[in-house]
A and B are shown apart, each in its own frame.
Chain A
Amino acid sequence: GESVGLHLPTLSVQEGDNSIINCAYSNSASDYFIWYKQESGKGPQFIIDIRSNMDKRQGQRVTVLLNKTVKHLSLQIAATQPGDSAVYFCAETRAYSGGGADGLTFGKGTHLIIQP
Chain B
Amino acid sequence: DAGVIQSPRHEVTEMGQEVTLRCKPISGHDYLFWYRQTMMRGLELLIYFNNNVPIDDSGMPEDRFSAKMPNASFSTLKIQPSEPRDSAVYFCASSHPGSFRNTIYFGEGSWLTVV
Q: Report A's interface with B, CB cutoff 8 A.
A: 4-6, 32, 34, 36, 42-46, 49, 51, 89, 93, 95, 97, 99-109
Q: Report B's interface with A, CB cutoff 8 A.
A: 4, 31, 33, 35, 38-43, 45, 48, 50, 56, 59, 91, 93, 95, 97-109
Rounded to whole angstroms, the CA-CA distance of A89 and B106 in the bound complex is 13
B98 proximity list for chain A (CB < 8 A): 99
Q: Is there an interface contact between B109 and A106, defined as CB atoms closer than 8 Å?
A: no
Rounded to whole angstroms, the CA-CA distance of A45 and B109 in the bound complex is 12
User: Contacts A97-B100, A104-B104; is A43 near B42 (CB within 8 Å)?
Assistant: no
Minimal beta-carbon separation of B34 from chain A (angstroms): 9
Q: Which residue of A lies closest to B100 (CB)?
A: A95
A95 proximity list for chain B (CB < 8 A): 97, 100-102
Q: Is there an interface contact between B97 and A5, defined as CB atoms closer than 8 Å?
A: no
**CB < 8 Å neighbour of A32 from B102, B106, B108:** B102
- Complex A-B, nearest 8 residue pairs according to Cβ-Cβ distance, in ascending order: A43-B106, A99-B97, A101-B102, A103-B45, A106-B43, A5-B39, A6-B39, A44-B106
